[in-house]
Structure 1
Amino acid sequence: MKLSIIGVGDDGLNAVTAAARERILGAEKLLGDERALSLLGEAAKGQRVPITGDLEQVAAQIEALGNATAAMVVFGDPMFYGLARFLTDRFGKDRFEVLPHVSSMQLAFARVMESWDEAYLTDVSQHPLPTIVDRIRTAQKVGLFTTDRVGPAQVAQSLLNKRVDYFTAYVCENLGARDERVTRGELSEIATGDFGALNVMILIRKPDAPDRPRDAIGRRLFGNPDDAFLQAKPKQGLLTPAEIRSLALAQMDIAPGSIVWDVGAGSGSVSVEAAQLAVDGAVYAIEMDPEDHELITKNAERFGAGNVLPILGKAPDAWKTLPDPDCVFIAGAGREVINLATAAYGRLRSGGRLVVNMIAIDNLAAVRSAILEAASGSSATGDVSLNVWMVNIARGADQLERLTFEAVKPNFLLAAVKG
């Protein structure tokens, strides 16, 4: 017997479809939270089975239904960040039928008279707030289900902390109920407000607003100018040049959820830009110099890259307890870079990418041979896809009213994909 999951509103049975009403009135058992069940009135004769927010308990209650004819009543659209998503994943779609009602998200956009067909919609209970804030930054419209712990005030303050201040905000409380309230204001006003737990937050981008804070214009996801990063004065200019950094990050092929190692991270330029690509992942910046380790932290804060995790220590010992990476970047010289590249390749996940930046051609040949040997020596790794580049770049400069070019020291890149 299929369990009917039925969406209702504050009008209860008066506003549901004929099919939904038939399922509710014919049910031997009625599941729902106390508020939803109270809206069904006396016409619904089935045994009331209150449910809570404990998903495992709800699953156990469904298991206990046996062959009884049952209906579950929830608010709005059960499939839109609702309980039905969990239940169909847990028990399979064949076990249920879903009869939706108008969702509170639809009601909220209707109340503020904005379309929602291209809006970024999410639930702060299911995604980290920093990730949501980053997505909001470039959105035109946003709809958020907030929670008791992360309400509209906390969302607004998190946006302001990132200097995102170019949205008009609406907080729609108790939609469909007699005490419904819609509050419109600037983010600074919402950040100091007090709102009920049942709300939807709508953000509408102001016309001609930039997609980043005004003082961050020119900061790119990757390939930022070298002088955008703090560097130790005696070692000024030793960070990976912007052009080489861009090529290396492209070969690392970083996905939003990637685990990245930056070995010998220096001041953290590669780490920071990798973190801006791996928005849902993590970048472990491994550096043995305490001064550079501190600079990594400062540069991560400078770019708002909270997923950069500085590791003070010497590789490979420093990465022993780290999760296996999807991508590894190594910059170095001498025999050490050969050993590190080989060891890092061994830790790569299947399909993972290793990129090594060197300035000595002897190291390039040695690292290439070592990776090929490591791949052929283990049946678990399979074939390796390996490419190398010699990169010569000259930057234009004005000198004595003439255009000249200043050469960047040649770099050698090796990129390997683990089979």
Structure 2
Amino acid sequence: MNERIHIVGIGDDGLDGLTGHARRLVSEAEVLIGNQAMLDKVTDGDSVDDGVQRIAVDGTLDALTKKLAGLDGKRAVLLAGGDPLFYGIAKFLTDSLGKERFEVVPNVSSMQLAFARVKESWDDAYLTNLAIAPLDRVVDTIRTADRVGLFTTEAIPPRAVAEALLDRRIDYFNAYVCENLGTPNETVTQGDLQSIRQQSFSPLNVMVLVRRKGVADRPSGATRHRLFGNPDDLFLQSRPKRGLLTPSEVRCIALAELELTPDTVMWDVGAGSGSMAIEAAQIARQGQVFAIEMDAEDYGLMLENAKMFDVPALQPVHGQAPEAWQNLPDPTAIFVGGSGRMVPDLVRAALQRIKHGRIAVSVSSPDNLVAVQAVMESSGVQTEVRMINIARGTNQLDRVRFESLNPMFLVVGQVG
């Protein structure tokens, strides 16, 4: 049976920062593997026997796995930075060669050190590594985050991150760049994004972003708009309700099911910040789209979002349904979205006003799904139900992985 390979995390302080167990593994190893900088950190002094075999690896991941496969049962230690399972090499190796081949001995991650230095919690922060994640996708995720931790690269340094954020009108973060963490040359630089993009930093850095209190997400500022299915981050959203915006993929399906025409009269009940109503108004340009929203903040965001689009058909209505639609013209299409217990009652009341047309109801809970379907069928509306599962691809190392959105249920029906 092959000897297990120990993956030992090393900090910038080298051997001095290791636990006794980790130091013993390094000192007793027959083979030490790592990039040259890692090998240099642990082979100074008398802690490693002169007869140890040192293998410098600076090539591809496939080349590394081949070298590990040819160790012939020797006691081997693979040196990695910080916590090898936190955006490190350990996950790739355990997936590729099997978990049974390895033992992982972590060190303090430089990400953990960075958040400690700026005295911010990182338990709910968005954390990623720009060496494996596309900058555009990272920036889109940062838009709605409260705290962010980034491993930057020489190709994408902090100033490039700041530039990308500012280009997308994301200027509401305080930034910290933590350099050479755990060494005598450690430095923490604080500033706004405008100042960070004018500075240069050492390659060994972690960038931490902390959102200023009470700031709403800002849209991306794109100048070209789709008729429908625009990216979610194009729309201004309320911070406390982040994630309630109807995802672009669901919007596309719902708009198709509503069978909108240029002269449709539509109600969007519970319009939120207006993404669904705005895109419907782009289709029904000679008609009317009444976007009913009772929350004052969301109503204001809807008005701001509408300014980015030429949508004369959009008619925002600030009020609580069903009272808010008493004086509106009868619709030929209705969209109801929401997660509250009032959704079935709103659907029942709305069905009394539509004489002929389509209705689509988006819900997130099975209980509301059953209740809405029962209400529609008791009103004589034949329903169809869709469960929509969307996963969006992200690049990690040399693979595409998928991040799932919360499943949505769409109940649609034809009236009259």
- Tell me, yes or no, if the aligned pair for 1:173 and 1:198 is still in contact at 8 Å: yes
Deviation at 1:10, TM superposition (A): 2.7
Question: In the alignment, is the contact (CA less than 8 A) between 1:359 and 1:412 conserved in 2?
Answer: no
Residue deviations 1:140-177 (CA, integer Å, cap 9, x gap): 11100111111111111111111111111011111122
The question of 1:28 aligning with 2:30 is answered: yes
CA contact (8 A) 2:332 2:358 kept: no
Q: 1:357 aligns with which of 255, 259, 263?
A: 259
Specify the alignment match of 1:322 in structure 2: none
Task: Tell me the equivalent position of 2:322.
Answer: none
Q: Give 3-state SS (helix, strand or coil) of 2:328's partner.
A: strand
- Rounded to whole Å, the distance in 1 between the matches of 2:172 and 2:90 is 35
CA distance in 2, matches of 1:115, 1:331: 39
* Distance across 2 between alignment mates of 1:356 and 1:404: 23
Contact 2:7 2:84 in 1 (8 A): yes
**1:268 maps to which residue?**
226
Q: Are the aligned partners of 1:168 and 1:184 in contact in 2 as well (CA < 8 Å)?
A: yes
Aligned to 2:328: 405
Which of 79, 89, 92 is 2:95 aligned to? Answer: 89
Change (3 A) 1:117 1:24: same
Q: 1:327 Cα deviation (Å)?
A: 8.2
Give deviations 1:173-229, integer Å, cap 9, x for gaps. Answer: 11122322211111011112112221100011112222226x98xx9xxxxxxxxx9
Q: Distance in 2 between matches of 1:83 and 1:58?
A: 10
Judging changes above 3 Å, is the alpha-carbon distance between structure 1 residues 157 and 91 closer, same or farther for their aligned structure 2 residues?
A: same
C-alpha distance 394-139 of structure 1, shift in aligned 2 (>3 A): closer
Distance 1:137 1:327 in 2: 21
1:7 matched to which residue of 2?
A: 9
Q: Classify 1:331/1:23 alpha carbon distance in 2 versus 1 (closer, same or farther; 3 Å).
A: closer
Secondary structure of the structure 2 residue equivalent to 1:79:
coil
Change (3 A) 1:188 1:63: same
Q: Secondary structure at the match of 1:43?
A: coil
Query: Hey, what does 1:37 align to over in structure 2?
Result: 39
What whole-Å deviation, never above 9, does each CA across 1:297-345 have from its counterpart, x for those lacking one? xxxxx769xxxxxxxxxxxxxxxxxxxxx9895899xxxxxxxxxxxxx
On the 8 A contact 2:175/2:209 being kept in 1, the answer is yes
- Report the counterpart of residue 49 of structure 1 in structure 2: 55
Aligned residues: 268
**Distance between the aligned counterparts of 1:358 and 1:209, measured in 2?**
35
- Kindly tell me: are residues 416 and 209 of structure 1, through their superposed partners in 2, closer, same or farther at Cα, counting changes over 3 Å? closer
Question: Superposed, which structure 2 residues align to 1:89-108 within 5 Å?
Answer: 89-108=95-114
Q: Quote the offset at 1:416 in angstroms.
A: 7.8
Q: Distance in 2 between matches of 1:35 and 1:6?
A: 14
- Deviation of 1:407 after TM superposition, in Å, equals 3.8
Offset, 1:34: 1.1
* TM-score where L is the length of structure 2: 0.57
Alignment partner of 1:72 is 2:78: yes
| Contact 1:329 1:356 (C-alpha < 8 Å) held by counterparts | no
Is the 8 Å Cα contact of residues 174 and 199 (structure 1) preserved in structure 2?
Answer: yes
Q: For residue 60 of structure 2, what is the amino acid of its counterpart?
A: D
Which residue of 127, 140, 144 corresponds with 2:150?
144
1:9-64 alpha-carbon deviations (Å, 9 max, x no partner): 23322221121111111111000111111121232122111111521111111112
Q: Which amino acid aligns with 1:126?
A: I
The CA RMSD measured in Å over matched residues stands at: 3.6
Within 2, Cα distance between the matches of 1:44 and 1:416? Answer: 66
Partner of 1:344: none
Tell me if structure 1 keeps the 8 A contact 2:218–2:235. Answer: no
Q: Write the distance in 1 (CA, Å) between the matches of 2:143 and 2:22.
A: 40
2:117 equivalent in structure 1: 111
After superposing the two structures, state which structure 1 stretch, 52-61 or 83-92, moved more. 52-61
- Does structure 2 conserve the Cα–Cα contact (< 8 Å) formed by 1:29 and 1:68? yes
3-state SS of 2:259 partner: strand
Per the TM alignment, residue 97 of structure 1 is displaced from its structure 2 partner at its CA by: 0.2
**Unpaired stretches in structure 2, ≥5 consecutive residues:** 237-248, 263-287, 293-314, 317-324, 334-356, 360-382, 388-416
Structure 1 unaligned runs (5+)?
Answer: 220-228, 231-266, 280-301, 305-325, 333-353, 361-392
Separation of aligned partners in 2, 1:50 and 1:209: 48
TM-score (norm 1): 0.57
Identity over aligned residues, as a percent? 40
Q: Does structure 1 retain, via aligned residues, the 8 Å contact 2:33–2:76?
A: yes
Closer/same/farther in 2, CA of residues 394 and 66 from structure 1, 3 Å limit: closer
Output the CA distance in 1 between the equivalents of 2:213 and 2:25. 47
**1:142-291 correspondence runs (5 A):** 142-212=148-218, 268-272=226-230, 275-276=231-232
2:354 equivalent in structure 1:
none
Distance 1:331 1:128 in 2: 30
Provide closer, same or farther for how the CA distance between residues 359 and 24 of structure 1 changes in structure 2, counting only shifts above 3 A.
same
Which deviates further from its counterpart, 45-54 or 150-159?
45-54
Task: Report the AA paired with residue 48 of structure 2.
Answer: A
| Cα gap change, 1:359 to 1:158, in 2 (>3 Å) | closer
